[in-house]
Amino acid sequence: MPFIPDLSAQALVSRDLYAALRRDAPLVQCLTNFVSMNTAANVLLAVGASPAMVHAQEEAPEFARVCGAVVINIGTLSSPWLDSMLLTAASANEAGIPWVLDPVAHHATAFRRDAVRRLLDLRPAIIRGNASEIIALAGGQSASKGVDARDAVAQAEESAHAIAVRQATVVAVTGETDFVTDGTRAARIAGGSPLMPRVTATGCALTATVGAFAAVSRNDPWAAAIAALSCFAIAGQRAGAAAQGPGSFAWRFLDALGDLEADSLTQESPLR
């Protein structure tokens, strides 16, 4: 299994990446599902990035070449969208633009399984999924029947490592305590709130945020994933402490992301 690096040093890297994101406001192209578009766009704005929900086949591949990163989420998949995703991922690769894959419920149907297989062939820089999705992606048996995670993150760590090695990519498994690995290094991120899974599109918005950090950390997508997950862990914990339920958590979480400062990633580091 991968080794755990110096977490204090990694928190400093996250701090610097967040400062760079705020400074550069990278353009992040999201080919994401209908449910998450508004939430993902608002979250990207809150952390300091610039969202672009450009998905049409006629323009998405061209648009990818001017972006800082591309995010592909298969939540509400269709054949036209899949064609656009494949072309856009290929275009991003040709231009040296990192792209992030969110394989939402990829194990639920044959159409989704085939879609993810084809997307994996295009070498995403980072894969972000829940424990059930990552276990299934590695070829294991998941307890999930759809988009919800029914497996613990700890059960998915070996699967994440196997995928990272096989695909030469970074895998981020998110849940109560997140796990991130590039096959050599690993880290766990604790924090957040039990209310996060009760607000739709929170995970999809996290994937978009991973893309924003990938735009300012092209040489180290592992560090990008850790920084993004750390922001969500800190903001989620802050919002959860004051929320009365899922509704008040949603707006408090957006405010908490907007209030984050670079130093928060060292002073409140959730790395474990």
Name the one residue in this structure whose structure tokens are 């995703």. Answer: 85
Give the per-residue SS3 of 7-66: HHHHHHHHHHHHHHHHHHCCEEEEECCCCCHHHHHHHHHHHCCEEECCCCCCCHHHHHCC
Mean pLDDT per block of 10 residues along the chain (272 residues) reads 85 98 98 96 98 97 98 97 98 98 95 97 97 93 57 93 97 96 96 96 97 98 98 98 97 98 97 93
CATH code: domain of residue 223:
3.40.1190.20
Instruction: State the alpha helices, DSSP H only, in the chain.
Output: 7-24, 37-47, 60-64, 79-95, 110-120, 131-137, 153-167, 202-215, 221-242, 246-259, 264-267
> Does a structural domain hold residue 58?
yes
Work out how many domains the chain is built from and give that number: 1
201 in a labelled binding site: yes
Query: Which pLDDT belongs to residue 142?
Result: 60
> Does a structural domain hold residue 120?
yes
> Does a structural domain hold residue 146?
no
> Does a structural domain hold residue 94?
yes
State the Cα–Cα distance between residues 216 and 21, nearest whole angstrom: 6
Q: Give the N- to C-terminal CA distance of the chain in Å, as an integer.
A: 16
Give the residue among 232, 209, 229, 213 at the shortest CA–CA distance from 221.
Answer: 213
Give the residue among 162, 100, 111 at the shortest CA–CA distance from 137.
Answer: 162
State the Cα–Cα distance between residues 10 and 71, nearest whole angstrom: 24
> Does a structural domain hold residue 72?
yes
174 in a labelled binding site: yes
> Does a structural domain hold residue 2?
no
Decide if 131 contacts 155 (C-beta within 8 A).
yes
53 in a labelled binding site: yes
Residue numbers of the domain that contains 67: 7-134+152-268
> Does a structural domain hold residue 144?
no
Decide if 209 contacts 43 (C-beta within 8 A).
yes
Decide if 19 contacts 262 (C-beta within 8 A).
yes
> Does a structural domain hold residue 67?
yes
Give the residue among 165, 166, 168, 173 at the shortest CA–CA distance from 135.
Answer: 173
